[in-house]
Amino acid sequence: MTLPALSQLRIVAAYKIPFAVKSGGHGMNPNYSSTPGVHIAMSRFNEVKYDTKTNTAEVGPGLIWDDVYGALDPLGVTVLGGRATGIGVGGLALGGGYSWKTNQFGLTVDNIRGYEVVLPNGKIATVTNESYPDLFWGLKGIVTKFHLVAYAQTEVWGGGLTFSGDYLDEVNAATAVFDETVTDPKAQIIPTYNYVQGQFLIAMSLYYDAPTPPAGIFDAFLAIPAIGTDIKTRPIRDLIRTAPTNGTLGLRGIYHTVSIVKYTETVLAAIANETKFWGEYPFPGQTVISYSAEPFLPSIFSHAPEDSSAYPPDRTIGLSPLAISYAWNDSSADAAMHAAARASAAQLMRVLINDGQDVQNAALYGNYAIFDTPLEKIYGRHLPRLRALKTKYDPHNVMGLAGGWKL
């Protein structure tokens, strides 16, 4: 392939990363950020421009969402992006993208109005629903710019609470009630169950999309005695920095997921049990075991028309993801940790089905799914259409040299 003369492109030596973070920083999968060919660094695609006339933001894929929020905060607007610090723009957006504003406006992909793309044949294309409707639906290529819908943004309220395992029942009860009863789309939570250095802890992220939340929404969480508290009114970039993604920097790792209709107390208790079981399992070396429950409103996929994007393949039912995250320091544990993540997801699937949740064939969120997940489980009925696009736009399989999911 002959690359166009784009001054921002920086070619670096190709290399294999034994356990690399997928584009976007969401999932850790072997070789997903690697290539046996030329490795292209996108770091110089780092501009953020806001157009007041179209109310869209041009965002470079070489950025992390921290930088995007920081550039837009002074302008009083924001876009739908990552919920934790250090998450890359490109991978989250192209994978679907769950945001703190998803309850209000849908997925990140639902709020993209266009892309600047280098196609596998070297052509630079501006891809919109009008210019390339097929490619806009299931994008493949080197993205050099995203055009994202911007929304008015004030300061937000929220941050983190840390609870000891002694208050597991109280946290689970409050979480289940929140998921069942809170319909305000500006309110969200993420309870993360952790087993680290022999301790079981729960990290709770609270979010309200305004400087002050209405009375009562978060009272049950705030009433639980916490061993750490960082809750206040702050800019959105400051809030996402309360949820670091680099706590396991330097360790090996893997992600996996299941899709959930409701976070009931039964399901939450099972998630906590999985955290403890695998946290206490005698793997060689040291491990960090985490499960992040991410309850969303059942209406989250209704913000865009059916079949408007490759993911999700079915917008008739809202699904909330669960992030299963394992990190470890001993390479001899690789196979065992991968097997544990798969076994844990299978066990939780059994619990969900026994809980009456129709998730047997529910799509999995690709940014969390483990590397050998069948693509049918991510894209469902859309997979043949994606493969046809691959043949049309990449007949010589140039993108096959890149990491990530292979169509």
Is the sign of the CA dihedral 271, 277, 280, 282 positive or negative? Answer: negative
Asked if residue 43 has pLDDT above 90, the reply is no
pLDDT above 70: percentage of residues in the chain: 93
Report pLDDT for 131.
Answer: 96
CATH of 156-354, one of 3.40.462.20, 3.90.1300.10, 3.40.640.10, 3.20.20.140: 3.40.462.20
Q: What is the DSSP letter of 85?
A: B
Q: Provide the residue ranges of all domains of the chain, joining segments of one domain with +.
A: 10-153, 156-354
User: In this structure, are strands 10-12 and 39-41 parallel, antiparallel, or unpaired?
Assistant: antiparallel
Answer yes or no: is pLDDT of 25 > 80: no
Please tell me the predicted confidence (pLDDT) of residue 41.
Answer: 82
Query: How much is the pLDDT for 1?
Result: 32
Q: What is the pLDDT of residue 404?
A: 81
For the segment 254-269, the average pLDDT, to the nearest whole number, is 97
The mean pLDDT value for 123-149 works out to 91
What pTM, to 2 d.p., does this model score? 0.91
Q: pLDDT at position 405, please?
A: 83
The reported pLDDT for the residue numbered 398 is 85
Question: Average pLDDT in the 85-94 region?
Answer: 91
In the beta sheet, which residues pair with residue 292? 192, 323
Q: What is the C-alpha to C-alpha distance for residues 363 and 319, in angstroms, rounded to an integer?
A: 8
Q: What is the pLDDT of residues 159-175, one digit of tens each?
A: 999 999 999 999 999 99
Phi and psi (nearest 5°) for 88? Answer: -75, 150
| 255 Cβ contact partners less than 8 Å away, ≥ 6 residues apart | 26, 27, 28, 29, 323, 324, 325, 326, 341, 368, 369, 370
Mean pLDDT check: name the lowest of 130-134, 140-144, 285-289: 140-144
Tally of CB atoms within 10 A around 38: 13
β-pair partners for 58: 49, 147
Q: Domain 10-153: give its CATH code.
A: 3.30.465.10
Choose among 322, 174, 158: nearest CA to 230.
158
Q: Average pLDDT over the chain, rounded to whole?
A: 90
Q: CB atoms < 10 A from the CB of 387, how many?
A: 14
- Which amino acid is located at 232 in the chain? K
Average pLDDT in the 9-25 region?
32
Position 401 confidence tier, pLDDT thresholds 50, 70, 90? confident
DSSP structure class, residue 110? G
Distance CA(47)–CA(26), nearest Å, equals 22
Per-residue confidence (pLDDT) for residue 8, from 0 to 100:
44
